[in-house]
Amino acid sequence: MKTANPDSLRNTVEILASHIGPRPIKRPEKLKEARDFIGKSFEDIGLSVSLQPVIYKGIEYHNVIAATKGTDPLLPCEKSILVIGAHYDTVSSTPGADDNASGIAALLETARLTAPFKPDNLVFAAFCMEEPPVFRTRNMGSYWYARHLKKMGQKLIGMICLEMVGYFSDRPGSQKYPFPLMNRMYPDRGNFIAIVGNLKSKDFTMTLKGLFKKHSTIPVESLNAPAVMIGIDFSDHWSFQKLGFKAVMVTDTAFYRNPNYHRPSDVPSTLEYEKAAQVVDGLAGSILDLCGLRA
């Protein structure tokens, strides 16, 4: 299998964060611009693309759903499917290089690496709305899609949410945690990727962690905890968990590490694309294993 291209990741982040810029819910024209870029990128990879309408306060937004060429990603699949997702919106105060252009970049690059294997049970989803005012509500784009899967009776291997995967630091003390005890259990340098989920998703978390270690050299940590752990469900995996699916988040830990979180300073130059590429390598290999294919 080919390896991830750091320049490709950088290019996607530059387009979303610098060329398009902030993509908040109150700027539907910016979300449309991002939507069209993502959809074309999936098509250029050779995937089939469907737009799922998401209605909020009378305005139609869209999730971008992609799967192997020749399939309709919004129709049921006889097999259990694996969903890989990331949101493409931002809050109004930031161009969102890490949050979450990095997640979309990883989503597209993972799709590029896995497409030649033609997995028939793999779906990529770019969600239109994750940030406030819809954050952790049924108005999230991911909730609309998860509910769609539930209504179809679609079975899932699981859902992997890509939420901020580009910021790393080797500086001592650069990694923070919600509880002091965690400082004794986890690294104090923000140079790792984390896989986190709720208690019901623990087996899925550990399976993914084991596969990730096989396919990537970047350090990986994991955590499964209830919602009292602040940040454990702060992204699109929340929607899938609410509807009973196993779901985890792959993340650089957001505001526990990145000082640019939700700020104007969250720009492309602050990210480390070589390390983000290592994350994608781990994801792509793990995904093929989960889908029953050999990388």
Q: Are 276 and 7 in contact (CB under 8 A)?
A: no
Question: How much is the average pLDDT of 195-211?
Answer: 97
pLDDT at 88 over 70: yes
Q: Are 121 and 25 in contact (CB under 8 A)?
A: no
User: Using 50, 70 and 90 to split pLDDT, how confident is the model at 93?
Assistant: very high
Question: How much is the average pLDDT of 191-199?
Answer: 97
Q: How far apart are the first and last CA of the chain?
A: 6
Helices 103-114 and 273-290 meet at what angle, rounded to 10? 50
pLDDT at 118 over 90: yes
The answer as to whether 148 is a domain residue is: yes
User: Using 50, 70 and 90 to split pLDDT, how confident is the model at 71?
Assistant: confident
Percentage of residues of the chain with pLDDT beyond 90: 96
Comparing 172-176, 222-226, 228-232, 254-258, the range with the smallest average pLDDT is 228-232
The answer as to whether 133 is a domain residue is: yes
Q: What is the pLDDT of residue 294?
A: 74
The answer as to whether 1 is a domain residue is: no
User: What is the full DSSP assignment across 92-128?
Assistant: TT---IIIIIIHHHHHHHHHHHHGGG--TTEEEEEES
The answer as to whether 295 is a domain residue is: no
Ramachandran quadrant class, 21 (left: phi over 0; alpha: psi -120 to 50; beta: rest): left
The answer as to whether 53 is a domain residue is: yes
The answer as to whether 149 is a domain residue is: yes
User: Using 50, 70 and 90 to split pLDDT, how confident is the model at 186?
Assistant: very high
Give the position of tokens 């130059």: 269
pLDDT at 295 over 90: no
The answer as to whether 91 is a domain residue is: yes
Question: How much is the average pLDDT of 200-228?
Answer: 96
Mean pLDDT across the chain, nearest whole number? 97
What's the total number of domains in the chain? 1
pLDDT at 191 over 80: yes
Q: Between the CA of residue 285 and those of 117, 206, 256, 275, what are the distances in Å?
A: 11, 15, 27, 16
Q: What is the pLDDT of residue 115?
A: 96
The answer as to whether 51 is a domain residue is: yes
Supply the CATH number for residue 111's domain: 3.40.630.10
Question: How much is the average pLDDT of 224-251?
Answer: 96
d(CA 132, CA 76): 30
Question: How much is the average pLDDT of 85-104?
Answer: 98
User: Using 50, 70 and 90 to split pLDDT, how confident is the model at 218?
Assistant: very high
pTM of the full structure = 0.98
Domain that holds residue 55: 6-290
Q: Are 224 and 197 in contact (CB under 8 A)?
A: yes
CB neighbours of residue 214 within 10 Å: 11
Tell me the pLDDT tens digit for each residue of 1-50.
Answer: 889 999 999 999 999 999 999 999 999 999 999 999 999 999 999 999 99
